[in-house]
Copies of this chain bind each other. A is one copy, B any other.
Amino acid sequence: MYGALSAKPARRPRADSVRNRARVLEAAKLVFAAGGPAGSLEAVARQAGVGVGTLYRHFPTRQALFEAVYRHEVQQLVELAEQLGTDLPPLEALRRWMHANVEFVATKKGMSAALAVAVHASSDLTAYSMDRLGRALETLLRRAVEAGVIRDDISTEDILRTIVGLCYTHDKPGWQGNVLRLVDVFVDGMRRSQCSGPI
């Protein structure tokens, strides 16, 4: 991602360093998901099978680790969008991706508080994720519009905000099924050929 245009002939990053960084990231995801944003960093290091020193070298602060996990998660959603886009018909791909977003929040309930803190403390993280997710969604959306299966006056931002809004206002038990249903309603509403089924 970087280094190619550096002036110095920098030596390649060490293999163990790369490996450990990935391990810590994976472990952090688990620990924060289970224990919320206050989860122990020593537990992250143990889970990753590295020393605490290694953890702190890669991520000097808790906040830095939050941000890295967040970016990693966003990246996974982007890749999922690409895959769904090539594997499924347009409308179904869109619907599945929106469901995945909800589940993304659901499976990380503890994580979400941590991410909320991370996002709140760094506003360019919001911009970053809106941009990445927006581009990924753009492709799915355009394909569906061009196929003529959904209306053309919905923007990617409309959709992202809808998902966020639906998740945000639901924190009661069983909310996930409810939100998925609402997403389906929303997707139905976007369809062109309205058989006007009951909502």
Q: Are A120 and B38 closer than 8 Å at their CB atoms?
A: no
Number of copies: 2
Q: Is B120 a contact of A113 with CB atoms below 8 Å? A: yes
Closest to A172 in B: B123
A94 to B39, CA, bound (A): 43
Which B residue's beta carbon lies closest to that of A62? B38
A113 touches B117 (CB 8 A): yes
Q: Name A's B-contacting residues (CB within 8 A).
A: 38, 113, 116-117, 120, 123, 171-172
By a CB distance below 8 angstroms, the chain B residues around A38 are: 38
- B residues near A113, Cβ cutoff 8 Å: 117, 120
A22, B181: Cα distance in complex, Å: 47
> Which B residues are in CB contact (< 8 Å) with A116?
116
A-B contact pairs, 7 of them (CB 8 A): A38-B38, A113-B117, A113-B120, A116-B116, A120-B171, A123-B171, A123-B172
Q: For the complex formed, measure the closest distance between the CB of A41 and the CB atoms of chain B, giving whole angstroms.
A: 13
Chain B nearest CB, measured from A118 CB (Å): 11
Closest B residue, CB atoms, query A38? B38
Q: How far is the CB of A101 from chain B (nearest CB, A)?
A: 19
Q: How far is the CB of A175 from chain B (nearest CB, A)?
A: 11
**Residue numbers in B under 8 Å from A172 (CB-CB):** 123
Q: Which residue of B lies closest to A171 (CB)?
A: B123
Residues of B within 8 A of A171 (CB): 120, 123
Give the complex CA separation of A59 and B8 in angstroms: 58
A105 → B minimal CB distance (Å):
13
Closest-CB distance, A50 to chain B (whole angstroms): 24
Looking at the assembled complex, report how far the CB atom of A115 sits from the nearest CB atom of chain B, in whole angstroms.
12
Which of chain B's residues has its CB closest to A168's CB? B120
Residue of B nearest to A117 (CB): B113
Q: In whole angstroms, what is the CA distance A116 to B37 when docked? A: 13
